Amino acid sequence: PGVGYAVNDQTSLWVGYAWIPTDKPFAAGDRFNEHRIWQQLLWSNPYSFGTVTARSRTEQRFFDIPGSSDVAYRFRQFFKWSIPMRFISSKTSFILQDEVFVNLNDTEIGIRTGFNQNRFFTGVAYKFNKIVTGELGYLNQYFNRPDNPRPDQMQHILQANLFLNF
């Protein structure tokens, strides 16, 4: 969940929380919970060539691993370009987006400072009404794992998104 404040028609400020059950970086099968507090600046502006959106987010990540009191800090930069496909429908758009994750500190559980992951998405969006928009497309997710016994990983994902705008 998150709560936001609209600064103006293009810009909003947000804070929120995320709970992520996950695997230990070095011990496959060991589970733990990650709790994230996040803050973000969201900017979006329509142009004749489509809508451009940028989001800058910082995260403070806490892990319920016995003996660890580390807080991991991460920065995420997101860009999205929504290009109208009026030749199909006034409600249809082509989507290009990318998000880069950068760890800002080292932790005792194996998180290392620097490039962490990249998520690239391309697909089609359809605006059902003023509240509901759906997206369907391809997500390429790359994980960088420096100093980790597991190799870097690339995932190819068919992704469906549903956005509700109240």
**Which run of H or of E encompasses 57?**
strand 50-63
Tokens found for residue 111: 């998180």
38 and 18 in contact (C-beta within 8 Å)?
Answer: yes
Report d(CA 41, CA 14) in Å as an integer. Answer: 6
The phi and psi torsions of 88 (rounded to 5 degrees) equal -95, -55
What lies within 8 Å, CB to CB, of 161 at 6+ separation is: 134, 135, 136
Segment holding 97, helix H or strand E: strand 92-103
Q: Are strands 2-6 and 50-63 parallel, antiparallel or unpaired?
A: unpaired
Output the tens digit of pLDDT for each of the chain's 166 residues.
999 999 999 999 999 999 998 876 555 557 888 999 999 999 999 999 999 999 999 999 998 887 778 899 999 999 999 999 999 999 999 999 999 999 999 988 888 999 999 999 999 999 999 999 999 999 999 999 877 667 888 999 999 999 998 7
**CB contact at 8 A, 101 and 74:** yes
pTM: 0.89
